[in-house]
Amino acid sequence: MKSDEIIEKIRSKLKESDPARRTVVNTFQFNFTDADGKLIKSMALDIYEGSAPGADGQVTISDEDFYLVGTKQKTFQEILQQEKAKIDGDEEAINKMLEKFRINSQN
């Protein structure tokens, strides 16, 4: 999958981060689709290692669009505005995650 490189970078940053400084402790379910919208991979991603019985939020996005966000070619907000991603679940948790995307896309 094209976005595997981005996922590994996220995992590496999570492992390196200081637990005392973590501001988001949620689990998110990511569903990656191909260009035709068919599911190609699902995965749970613990943002800053929290414990939760299920996902707090769910994001469905194409592999290509996630790659574009991860490589800062597009912002997650642009993808949402173009209705190329779907988010469901705990609105507060999702907004915290989206804030991290916005902060990281400004670098």
pLDDT tens column, 13-40: 777 777 666 665 667 778 889 989 998 8
CA distance 95 to 91: 6
Which CATH code for domain 2-15+26-101? 3.30.1050.10
pTM of the model: 0.66
DSSP 63: H
Alpha-carbon span 8 to 87, nearest angstrom: 22
Q: What is the pLDDT of residue 59?
A: 85
